[in-house]
Amino acid sequence: MTRPTRAADILARRLYDAGCRHAFGMPGGEVLTLVDALQAAGITFHLAKHENCAGFIGEGVHHNDGAPAILVATLGPGALNGVNVVANAHQDRVPMLVLTGCVDEAEQQSYTHQVLDHGAVFAPITKASFRLNADAADLIADKAVCIATEQRNGPVHIDVPISVADTPATDRNTRRAPASDTVPSGTDLAQARGWLAGADRPIAVIGLDSIQQKAGPAIQEFLETHQIPFVTSYKAKGIIPEDHSLCLGGGGLSPLADKHLLPLLRDADLVMCIGYDPIEMRPGWRDVWDVDCQHVIDIAPEPNLHYMHQGGLNLLTSIAPTLTALSEGVAPRATWPDKQPQMAKDALSQAFPITDEWGPAAVIAETRAVMPRDTLATADSGAHRILLSQMWECHEPRGLIQSSGLCTMGCAVPMAIGRKLAQPDRPVISFSGDAGFLMVAGELATAAEMKLAPIFLVFVDASLALIELKQRQRQLPNAAVDFGRHDFAAMGRAFGGNGVTVRNRQQLRAALTDAMTAQRFTVIAAEIEPGGYDGRI
């Protein structure tokens, strides 16, 4: 007998049509129909050990297939466990469908166990929140996918009442037509061309919106034509290979890097913000340039409501066609006659040397030297992430993924699991501080159960290194930043993987070489001395 189509089926099929093939979470009785519908639609449900990590595993998959991540959580504590990763998706522009179970509306009037207003919880950290209705399931599903995937991407929450999930429903196949690309015209375009034609010292700042619009080839052609050096945000690293002659690397969180990058932005006569979303940047990037003295063109999908910077021309247009239009009729010319960008590039190389005998910089340098060019990397938050983002050279978009908007700890391990699940033939490595690793070590069991073999590298210095450094800089007494040294390699072995402790470059090189051919995941605990980040970030 053919089973009638349920509201949960309509939602699941719309997600399948959006390219989703994986969902992650921790089921409860309230989401069993939803899980069944996802599986029936061709979306595999994967059990994680915590909803927060489930969302990050989903994000790791998203960075490969481009489809929205799916987080499934039951009511009450399940939904609340996902708050961090949902907030991260909101600030890091990750399309995510957050599906939570809930009791029926009538039931709520006389039943309070685990009942709370999920919509109110998720409203500030999502682009939209819906309650599934059987009569409008197709409309709600399409709205949710469209809102999550339109610029700028972000999470959308859908509360799924128990009985509604099972209610027969009709799919009218409603689909919103995609928006067309736009280009500037008239006086704005003429002015922008004039600024470009007259620029002797142009520079570009490239951000995450450029990657989300897949604008890398158009940007590279534009910058090469007009000889414009560029800086990227950390999440835009690799949109143009970082060994390109015009690349000045990533920026945003390192005062040491800013010492060399920010003077270029202040001295430029044309600053081009190309898909630049300043949510990643530290306060030192606020109002770096002066629109009264410099020409600034800001190409972005949304109006500037952040006030981190201002632009002389704010073009709310699509990046690739806009750059093509800007180039028309503008003859290429030599730029930066004093070679200031090259001098800054040389200074950055000296500021972040790869020759340390041991310590966090040596760990990063040795790992980059050993791992193949096509390695996919993830980074947790902490001092190591700042150093890694300056030193780890990326050759493709999303070659290094991290939490740059929210800067949350505990993301690297689950994101690496998602990346390896999506691309099992690519080398995948995560970089975590020891504190961040301890937050999510249970997901090693998930990696083992999925039979995945990423490499989990842990910087072991028994300290919240970044916070400890800030504490000393403020001349405050040491408090609540140090903890015990634990056997992280043994944790790897306990969860069914490999585990190695390394204390020098030679040991690290051997451990990485073995890990790349291992059939199980490997935890590499790189023991370093406290204070190893001093003068390095």
Give pLDDT, residue 328.
95
Mean pLDDT by 10 residues, the chain (537 residues): 89 98 96 98 98 98 97 97 98 98 86 90 98 97 97 97 96 84 86 97 98 97 98 98 98 96 98 97 95 96 93 95 96 96 97 97 98 98 98 98 97 98 98 98 98 98 94 95 96 98 98 98 97 94
Helix, strand, or coil here: 502? strand
Helix, strand, or coil here: 245? coil
Q: Counting Cβ atoms within 10 Å, is residue 169 exposed (0-12), middle (13-18) or buried (19+)?
A: buried
- Shortest CA distance to 199 belongs to which of 288, 295, 290? 295
What distance in Å separates the CA atoms of residue 330 and residue 252, rounded to the nearest whole number? 31
The pTM score is 0.96
The sign one gets for the Cα dihedral 83, 85, 86, 92 is positive
Rg (CA), the chain: 24
| Beta carbons of 11 and 84 less than 8 angstroms apart | no
What distance in Å separates the CA atoms of residue 166 and residue 134, rounded to the nearest whole number? 9
| Beta carbons of 413 and 433 less than 8 angstroms apart | no
Written as one letter, the residue type at 449 is E
User: Scanning the structure block, which residue is given the tokens 């390219």?
Assistant: 19
Q: Counting Cβ atoms within 10 Å, is residue 445 exposed (0-12), middle (13-18) or buried (19+)?
A: middle
Torsion of CA 493, 495, 498, 503, to 10 degrees: -60
How does pLDDT run across 434-457, given as a tens digit for each residue?
999 999 999 999 999 999 999 999
Give pLDDT, residue 1.
58
What distance in Å separates the CA atoms of residue 412 and residue 417, rounded to the nearest whole number? 9
Give pLDDT, residue 2.
75
| Beta carbons of 266 and 192 less than 8 angstroms apart | no
Using alpha carbons, list the distances in angstroms from residue 302 to 152, 315, 318, 323: 8, 9, 10, 17
Give pLDDT, residue 107.
80
What distance in Å separates the CA atoms of residue 220 and residue 62, rounded to the nearest whole number? 24
The full DSSP string for 407-430 is --SS-HHHHHHHHHHH-TTS-EEE
